[in-house]
Structures are given as C-alpha cells and as structure tokens.
C-alpha cells in the first residue's frame, strides 16, 4: 500500500483567482504537460502530522515557506491509488525563484550511471481554468472546493 501524501494548494487573488502548481522533475516527465502538474506535496510517515508534512514538502519542493490560514480540503485518491491530504493557503511567491530538492536516478536506464534531477523542475501560477488543464485529474476536485472558500 502506498504511503499517504500531504500538500498545499497556494492561491492568490489578483484580478482573478490563481493557483500555484509544480511540474515534476526528471526525464520521464520532461516532455509531458497536460495532466501532470500538481500541488507541491509528498509522502509522510504514520504518526507524523499531515499539515506539518505538507508544509515541509512545500518548502523542499519550492524553496518557499507557506504561512497563513491553512484551510483543509477533502482528501483525494489519485488514479495510482495514493491518498493525498491537502490544505489551501493564501500567499504569493515568485515562481521563477523556485529551488527544489533533488533525487538520484539511474539514467539512462541500465546504463550504470546515476544522475541527479530536481524533484520539481518548475512552478507557475495558473487561473483556475488553466489549472484544470494542467493538474492531475484527481486534484481538480480541490479547485472546485477552492472556489467556495
């Protein structure tokens, strides 16, 4: 069974509501766009506070610190079976200043060479309509919820 994940849906209200999403790093995701973006999130251990984990993962994946009124969103189950808890929080960041942690991967496969890749390779602000095209399908439920906050 997959470990649960927790993440943050950062939003801001400019001329219209916008959400901050991240694109997964690594060679598998390099040429994929629609449906692969996500909120910054990651796994957490049993007994660990899910909101604390969401805040930690947000910082590890973006280099930014989220603070404010964390509003719980419904827990979702993604297509691969992973359960994700999330919180919406209002804030702002400069997407071009994103700095992600990294992971090691044998690349190319069966080459015997290990390379380092960022966990997320970029972040961006999207309107809710744009986000629906970019986001992992299961995470689109959070956009509907956000519209009621």
Q: How many domains does the chain have?
A: 1
Nearest CA among 82, 60, 80 for reference residue 8: 60
Q: What is the mean pLDDT of residues 92-119?
A: 95
Which residues are CB-neighbours of 7 under 8 A, at least 6 positions away? Answer: 38, 39, 40, 41, 42, 54, 57, 58, 84, 85, 86, 87
Q: What is the mean pLDDT of residues 46-63?
A: 97
Q: What is the mean pLDDT of residues 103-123?
A: 95
φ, ψ dihedrals at 57, nearest 5°: -65, -40
Q: What is the mean pLDDT of residues 76-100?
A: 96
CATH number at residue 122: 3.90.79.10
- Look at residue 1 and tell me whether its pLDDT is greater than 80: no
Q: How far apart are CA 22 and CA 61, in angstroms?
A: 8
Its domain, for residue 125, covers 5-146
pLDDT in tens, 59-83: 999 999 999 999 999 999 998 889 9
């Amino acid at each position: 069974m997959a470990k649960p994940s927790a993440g943050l849906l950062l939003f801001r209200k400019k001329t219209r509501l916008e959400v901050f999403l991240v694109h997964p790093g690594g060679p598998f995701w390099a040429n994929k766009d629609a449906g692969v973006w996500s909120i910054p999130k990651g796994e957490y251990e049993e007994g660990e506070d899910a909101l604390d984990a969401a805040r930690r993962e947000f910082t590890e994946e973006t280099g930014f610190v989220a603070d404010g009124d964390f509003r719980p969103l419904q827990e979702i189950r993604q297509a691969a079976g992973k359960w994700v808890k999330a919180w919406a929080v209002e804030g702002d960041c400069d997407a071009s200043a994103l700095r992600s942690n990294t992971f090691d991967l044998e690349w190319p496969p069966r080459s015997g060479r290990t390379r380092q890749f960022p966990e997320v390779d970029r972040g961006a602000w999207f309107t809710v309509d744009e986000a629906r095209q970019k986001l992992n399908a299961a995470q689109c439920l959070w956009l509907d919820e956000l519209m009621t906050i």
